Amino acid sequence: MPGNFYYDQILNFLNIGSSYAIRGFMYLHSGDGNYEAQIINSDASSVIFSQHINGQHGDWVFFSAPFTASSIMQTGYLRFAFTGTQLSWATFDQVEVSDNKDMVSLGAIRLYPEWEMRRYKKRMASEHRCKTGSLFAYTWGNYERFEIPLRHVPAAKAAIVNSWWQSADMLMLKIESGGVWEVNSLACVNKAVPFERLEKGYIDQMQGTLELETF
């Protein structure tokens, strides 16, 4: 099938019965966004495992395809297959097959933002207004910014987020709403720690605003 690509080493590190996930990021430049993450047998005659990946135009999308290893997979290969019907152009990055840990063990916490949460794109541009009023605008790129106000956050969770800020960790923000989800790769850009104020009336709850930007 044209457009497929492979990892050319067999998956012999898989332990039978253990849980793993094919993870990574996908960016859909143009066209049809239907792909599959697959494990195929050694002569590519059959697909042992597959999960659909749906690309989104102009955005990086995180995908995770969990599976339980079987013996035949130990001699199989990882493949990404285009399953759409039209032309397509996509980029995959940071692809890995690794232990399928739950989000908490990966260092994830769940937060409930206030309605004032803002999400927008910022443009990096130079603008020149000339004598007769004409405008020349040169756009160098853009990036996404999240401003997430948070109230009544348990002090333990707030401390974790503050520690991420202190160690300048790169973060992944998974937004879930009504069964629809997406993941963004972000950096915490708060000038000071995100949670620095106690919630009024509570000594074990914090409030603050998380400022995140894509990198």
Partner 1 sequence: MGYEVTSWFIDQLKLKASRPNRRFVIGSSDYSSRVLKWPTWQRTAKDIIASKTTVELANADGALNGFHERIWTMADTCALAVGFTHATSGAEWLTLFSGDIKEVKYPNKTKCQIHVRDRLWSLTEKKVGDSDVPATFAAQIPSDIAWTLVTCYGGLSGIQGSSNPHIDWEAFNTWAAQFSADSVLCAARYEGEKVSEALVGMADYTDSAIWTDGDGKLRFIRYSEPSSLDFALDGSEIEDLVIKVDGRALVNKAWCYADYKPESDYWAINVWAAETTYINTFGLHEQIWKDDSLWYTNSVSALTLATRKALVMKAPPRRFELDTVVVGLHRQLGEMVRFVDSFYHISSGTAWRFNEIEVDMHDFGVRYLLDEAIAGNGFYLDVDYLDGDKLLL
Note the residues at the interface with partner 1 (CB under 8 A).
126, 128-132, 134-140
Q: Which DSSP helix (H) or strand (E) runs through 162?
A: helix 155-166
Task: Tell the smallest beta-carbon distance from residue 124 to partner 1 (Å).
Answer: 11
Q: Which DSSP helix (H) or strand (E) runs through 74?
A: none
Q: Which is nearer to partner 1, 130 or 180 (CB)?
A: 130
SS3 content of the chain, % helix, strand, coil (to 5): 10, 55, 35
Task: Tell the smallest beta-carbon distance from residue 127 to partner 1 (Å).
Answer: 8
Q: Burial level of 54, CB count in 10 A (0-12/13-18/19+)?
A: exposed
Q: Which is nearer to partner 1, 131 or 197 (CB)?
A: 131
Task: Tell the smallest beta-carbon distance from residue 108 to partner 1 (Å).
Answer: 25
Task: Tell the smallest beta-carbon distance from residue 84 to partner 1 (Å).
Answer: 22
Question: Measured between alpha carbons, how far is residue 15 from residues 45, 49, 51, 130 in Å?
Answer: 23, 16, 20, 67
Q: Which is nearer to partner 1, 13 or 89 (CB)?
A: 89
Q: Which is nearer to partner 1, 112 or 136 (CB)?
A: 136
